[in-house]
């Protein structure tokens, strides 16, 4: 559970050929138990996004613009 002021991190690692490893953290502590691998054989650009379970929730995201090609 994340609360106001918490920092949610998403780290993407490109160290496995053709796969992308994703790790999530909450306030600097890893919260994912298993390794999440995404197939990226075509090396397409990845754009992070956040989904919320409630319409009233808001988030401030700081994402470098060069990560996504829109």
Domain boundaries, the chain: 8-67
Q: Is 52 helix (H, G, I), strand (E, B) or coil?
A: coil
Confidence of residue 64 (pLDDT cuts 50, 70, 90): low
pTM above 0.85, yes or no: no
Report the SS3 class of residue 66.
helix
Q: How far is CA 5 from the centre of its chain?
A: 18
The 10s digit of each residue's pLDDT in 28-54 is 999 887 778 888 888 777 766 667 777
> Which DSSP category does 23 fall into?
E
User: How much is the pLDDT for 70?
Assistant: 47
**Nearest Cα to Cα of residue 20 among 41, 47, 34:** 41
User: Cα 69 to the chain's mean position, in Å?
Assistant: 16
Is 47 in contact with 68 (CB distance < 8 Å)? Answer: yes
Q: What percent of the chain has pLDDT over 70?
A: 81
The token pair that represents 3 in the structure block:
């609360």
């Amino acid at each position: 559970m994340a609360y106001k002021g918490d920092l949610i991190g998403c780290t993407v690692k490109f160290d496995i050929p053709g796969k992308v490893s994703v790790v999530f953290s909450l306030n600097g502590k890893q919260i994912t138990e298993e390794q999440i691998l995404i197939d990226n054989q075509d090396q397409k650009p990845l754009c992070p996004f956040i989904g919320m379970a409630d319409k009233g929730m808001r988030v401030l995201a700081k994402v470098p613009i060069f990560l996504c090609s829109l």
